Chain A
Amino acid sequence: MLSIVGLSKRHPGALRPLFSELRFAIGTGEVVALVGESGVGKSTLLNCIAGLELADAGEIRVGPDALDMLRLDETARAALRATRIGFVFQAFHVLPTLTVAQNIAIPLLLSGVTPAEHPARIESLLLRVGLAGFGPRWPATLSGGELQRVAIARALVHRPALILADEPTGNLDPRTADEVLTVLLERVRDQHAGALIVTHSQHVAQCCDRILTLTPDGLE
Chain B
Amino acid sequence: MTTLAWWLIRAQFLSRRTATALSMLAIALGVSLGYAIHLINDAALADFSRAMKSVQGEPDAIIVPRDSAGHVPLALIDEIAGDESVALVAPVIETRVRLGRVPTAVKLIGIDVFSAALLMPTLLPREGAATSGGIFDGGLYASPSLLDDQGLRVGAGATVIRGESRWETHIAGDLPAMAAGEALLVADIAWVQAHFGPREGVGELRVRLMPGSHAEAWRAVWAKRLPPGLDIRAAADNAARISNISRAYRVNLNVLAMVALLTGAFLVFATQLTAVAQRSTQFALLGVLGLPPRMRLLQVLFEGLAIGLPGSALGLLLGYGMAVGFTRVMGGDLGGGFFAASTPTIAPELLPGLGFFILGCGASLMGALYPAWLNRIQPLAQALKTGFAQRPPGQASPAIHGRRLMLLAVAAAIPLLISLPAIDDLPLAGYAAIALVLVLGIAAAPVATNLAFGAMARAALPAPLRIAVQNVLQAPLMAQVAASGLIVSFALTVSMVTMVASFRTALDQWLDAVLPAPHYMRSKGLPLPAELLAAIERPDAPFARIERMATGSLSLDPRRPPAALLVREIDRADPGARLPFTGAVQAAPEGRITVWVSEALQEVHGLRTGQALHLPLLGRDVEVHIGGVWRDYARQFGAVVMSTGDYRALGGRFEVTDLALWPRPGSEDAARRWLATEAARHGIESAESGDIRRISLSIFDKSFAVTYALEAAAMLIGLFGLAVTLAASVWLRARELATLSALGFDRAMLARAVVFEGALIALVGLALGLAAGIAVGAILTHVVNPQAFHWRMPLHVPWNQVLPIALATLAAGMLASRFAARQATRLPAAQVLAGAQ
Q: Which residues of A pack against B, CB within 8 Å?
A: 43, 47, 50, 52-53, 74-75, 78-83, 85, 87, 89, 91, 93, 95, 97-98, 102, 105-107, 109-111, 115, 154, 171
Contact = CB atoms under 8 A, between A and B. Distances in A.
Nearest to B293: A74
Given A75-B294, A91-B836, A97-B14, A82 B289 contact: yes
Contacts of A95: 11, 282, 285
Interface stretch (B1-9, B493-501, B795-803): B1-9
B384 A93 contact: yes
Given A52-B381, A53-B381, A110-B1, A91 B288 contact: no
A78 B7 contact: no
Given A98-B11, A171-B836, A47 B381 contact: yes
A200 B835 CA distance: 17
Residue from B8, B12, B380 with most neighbouring chain A CB atoms (10 Å): B380
A43 B269 CA distance: 34
Given A47-B381, A52-B381, A110 B290 contact: yes
A13 B291 CA distance: 31
Interface of B: 1, 3-4, 7-8, 11-12, 14-15, 281-282, 285-294, 380-381, 384, 835-837
14 contacts: A47-B381, A52-B380, A52-B381, A74-B293, A78-B290, A78-B291, A78-B292, A79-B290, A82-B291, A93-B281, A93-B384, A93-B837, A109-B1, A110-B1
B835 A109 contact: no
A105 B4 CA distance: 9
Nearest to A118: B3
Contacts of B291: 78, 82, 110
Given A91-B835, A91-B837, A102 B292 contact: no
A52 B293 contact: no
B292 A79 contact: yes
B11 A115 contact: no
Given A91-B837, A109-B1, A110-B4, A82 B384 contact: no
Given A87-B289, A93-B281, A115 B3 contact: yes
Contacts of B14: 97
Contact of B289 (A74, A75, A81, A115): A81
A171 B831 CA distance: 12
B549 to A, nearest CB: 73
A165 B11 CA distance: 27
Given A52-B380, A107-B290, A109-B4, 20 more contacts: A47-B381, A50-B288, A52-B288, A74-B292, A74-B293, A75-B294, A79-B290, A80-B290, A81-B288, A81-B290, A87-B288, A97-B12, A97-B282, A98-B7, A98-B11, A106-B4, A107-B289, A110-B286, A115-B3, A171-B836
Nearest to A171: B836
A110 B289 contact: yes
Nearest to B291: A110
Contacts of A52: 288, 380-381
Nearest to B834: A171
Contacts of B836: 91, 171
Nearest to A115: B3
A126 to B, nearest CB: 18
A98 B3 CA distance: 12
